[in-house]
């Protein structure tokens, strides 16, 4: 009799399991297929030419992408503090995140090879997507869709994690010498490519000092921001400055432009490093006030 009941129980379990098919099996399969496509996209390391120079791509990081499947597609139940557990159902509507900022740095090192060595040692905890040498050579070290560690603790407007939303470009320069014509030529060519591919607003092409006032000063006051702005990469004050209104307030204007103004003096210096360059003190003279007003108006357009 016990054996008969046991057999009935087994039969009931089989029938129940057959009747509980996963209703999302088709979409889960589509999710996995799309994920595989995106995985192939971000691990593709073909050299792509850009105007003026050739892109040399270092592929040593590709071996680390073996974890990409786990980090992108990890499924299952996650317990929450209130006792509820999440349920995984994969959507079929998704793609890779695209960068919306470009942050320009100088390496503050003595050679391209020294910077490559820095970026290929795990103990340094620093990286960038591209390095441009003095002779114009461009080295790509990370796929544009992946998150490099170049911005550090930084903010721009309400964006408090620039690493997650930006492409980092390092220029081989120790911070005390002019940037070369070949280097800036390659930078403009690279910016042309990136701005078009990701539809990056021109006002979102910034320097490290802009997003980290008081902590960083790169690229230096020798960097040709005006030249870049004339090519459509960044904004620049009017040649003839309009005098700021009597009630124009500096701190909120800098904050609206994007600067972190918790340390107002540092924000003023960072602004002048980018837009004035001949004077990088915290002094608010007439030219500085009117320049801030000019950029403030352009940022609102």
Question: Per the omega criterion (within 30 degrees of 0), is the bond before 251 cis?
Answer: no
Give the number of other CB atoms < 10 A from CB of residue 216. 20
Which of 170, 181, 242, 251 is the catalytic position?
A: 170
Judge whether 170 counts as a catalytic residue: yes
SS3 per residue for the chain:
CHHHHHHHHHHHHHHHHHCCCCCCHHHHHHHHHHHHHHHHHHHCCCCCCCCCCCEEECCHHHHHHHHHHHHHHCCCCCECCCCCECCCCCCCCCCCCCCCEEEEEECCCCCHHHHHHHHCCHHHCCCCCEEECCCCCEEECCCCCCCCCCCCCCCECCECCHHHCEEEEEECCCCCCCCCHHHHHHHHHHHHHHHHHHCCCHHHEEEHHHHCCCCCCCCCCCCCHHHHHHCCCCCCCCCCCCCCCCCCCHHHHHHHHCCCCCCHHHHHHHHHHHHCCCCCCCCCCHHHHHHHHHHHHHHHC
Q: Which residues are catalytic?
A: 170
């Amino acid at each position: 009799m016990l054996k008969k009941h046991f057999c009935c129980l087994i039969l009931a379990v089989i029938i129940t399991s057959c009747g509980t098919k996963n209703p999302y099996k088709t979409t889960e399969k589509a999710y996995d297929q799309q994920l595989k496509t995106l995985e192939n996209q971000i691990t593709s390391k073909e050299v792509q030419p850009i105007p003026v120079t050739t892109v040399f791509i270092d592929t040593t990081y590709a071996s680390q992408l073996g974890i990409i499947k786990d980090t992108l597609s990890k499924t299952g139940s996650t317990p929450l503090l209130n006792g509820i557990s999440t349920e995984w159902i994969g959507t079929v509507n998704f793609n890779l995140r695209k960068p919306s900022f470009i942050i320009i740095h100088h390496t503050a090192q003595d050679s391209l090879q020294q910077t490559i060595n820095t970026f290929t040692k795990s103990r340094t905890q620093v990286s960038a997507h591209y390095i441009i040498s003095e002779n114009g050579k461009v080295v790509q070290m990370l796929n544009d869709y992946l998150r490099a560690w170049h911005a550090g603790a930084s903010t721009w407007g309400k964006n408090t994690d620039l690493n997650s939303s930006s492409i980092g470009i390092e220029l081989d320069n120790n911070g005390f010498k002019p940037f070369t014509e070949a280097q800036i030529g390659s930078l403009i060519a690279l910016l042309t490519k990136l701005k078009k591919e990701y539809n990056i607003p021109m006002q979102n092409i910034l320097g490290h000092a802009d997003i980290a006032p008081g902590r960083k000063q790169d690229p230096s006051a020798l960097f040709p921001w005006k030249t870049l702005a004339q090519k459509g990469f960044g904004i620049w004050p009017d040649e003839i400055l309009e005098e700021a209104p009597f009630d124009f307030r500096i701190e909120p204007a800098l904050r609206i432009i994007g600067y972190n103004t918790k340390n107002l003096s540092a924000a003023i210096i960072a602004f002048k490093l980018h837009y004035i360059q001949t004077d990088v003190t915290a002094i608010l003279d007439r030219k500085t006030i009117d320049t801030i007003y000019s950029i403030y108006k352009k940022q609102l357009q």
